[in-house]
Structure 1
Amino acid sequence: MLKIGTIVRILFIFIISFTYVNANEINDKAALNGIKEAKSVFLIDFTNVKKTAFYLNIIEGTHKGFVSQGVKPDMVLVFIGETVKYLSTKPDEAFEMENEEDLISIQKSIKTLASLGVRMEVCAVATKVFNVDNSTIPKEMNVIADGFISLIGWQTQGYKLVPIF
């Protein structure tokens, strides 16, 4: 029997797929008028593992949406706060048992996003505060000194901020 989380993900993927299959009817043509490349930096700050898994799937869809509409996505994800706990390849055993499906989804999204060329940064201030060993952060991600400094740097370079929390 399928769990509720699995059913929600399947429904979400179906909706996203349907939207992009019908891109000729529903699109972002007005907003993307004349744009060949979209530079974005996502501030990701969640206190919920399910929300983290859900939004990483959404971001994958956003990347695909840009590509399907002829725009090259140049995306950076900056993870701060408690969210760093959900990125570790070695989470607390009790937490892992309780949230296995979402943690697997997060690891899968990390691999997919990396394969798409999305840069992912993890704030070392947050890993220290939330006792996450930097060696347990997936190799596809970059541990950086300070997420706030990174966000300022990317924005100064012309990346548009997408805050999600």
Structure 2
Amino acid sequence: MQRLLASFLLCALLLPGLALADKPGDQRAIAGMETGRILWDITIAEPERLIARLSVIRETYEDMQRQGLEPQMVFAFRGGAAALIARSTEHLDIEDVSAVRHIHERLEGLQGSDGIHMEACHIATRRFDLEQDDLLPGIHLVGNTFLSIMGYENQGYTTIRID
């Protein structure tokens, strides 16, 4: 019985790696690149949809690493997304609280990765009466994420909308 359980656990650990080994590469598109710079322009205000997008963002980060790119990602939260990055969930509808806590966990996990920076737009956060101390740790309040987008694009970042 112990051998069967050990074999099962070994297979369970190997399967995700095997799936990644079979995943196609992006060599033509990333030829000659050493660093992948993406600015995620996050405006989505629906918690469940943002959770799904954060999964794809994590996979993109891992795909970059798998293919030899150094990920550099900026998360720019603006619009309705600003309400989802507050430390407190008291301002939310009760049915959204669990999902928003899940978002917080995912963001915290991403922040632990090299090359990740997160910021929130003051124009958006003031709609929800949020200041720097109200935001999740590691998310920095900036005056205007439109300026951030402009600036990061001038630094070679590609903007991808998450709405």
- TM (norm. structure 1) is 0.81
Map of 1:100 onto structure 2: 97
Change (3 A) 1:37 1:51: same
Residue 73 of structure 1: SS of its match in structure 2? strand
Deviations 1:1-40 (A, max 9, x none): xxxxxxxxxxxxxxxx859833455121221112111111
- In structure 2, what is the Cα distance between the partners aligned to 1:64 and 1:48? 25
1:1-165 equivalence runs, <5 A:
18=16, 21-92=19-90, 95=93, 97-117=94-114, 118-165=116-163
Deviations 1:70-105 (A, max 9, x none): 11111101010010101111022652x312331122
> What is the identity, as a one-letter code, of the residue corresponding to 1:115?
G
- In structure 1, what is the Cα distance between the partners aligned to 2:122 and 2:52? 23
> What is the identity, as a one-letter code, of the residue corresponding to 2:68?
G
- In structure 2, what is the Cα distance between the partners aligned to 1:125 and 1:19? 43
- In structure 2, what is the Cα distance between the partners aligned to 1:67 and 1:114? 16
Contact 2:73 2:117 in 1 (8 A): yes
> What is the identity, as a one-letter code, of the residue corresponding to 2:159?
L
Map of 2:11 onto structure 1: none
Change (3 A) 1:93 1:159: closer
Contact 1:124 1:144 in 2 (8 A): yes
Change (3 A) 1:37 1:22: same
Contact 1:82 1:126 in 2 (8 A): yes
**Which consecutive segments of 4 or more residues in structure 1 shift more than 6 A?**
none
Residue 35 of structure 1: SS of its match in structure 2? coil
The unaligned stretches of length 5 or more in structure 2 are: 1-14
The aligned length equals: 148
Identical residues among aligned pairs (%):
21
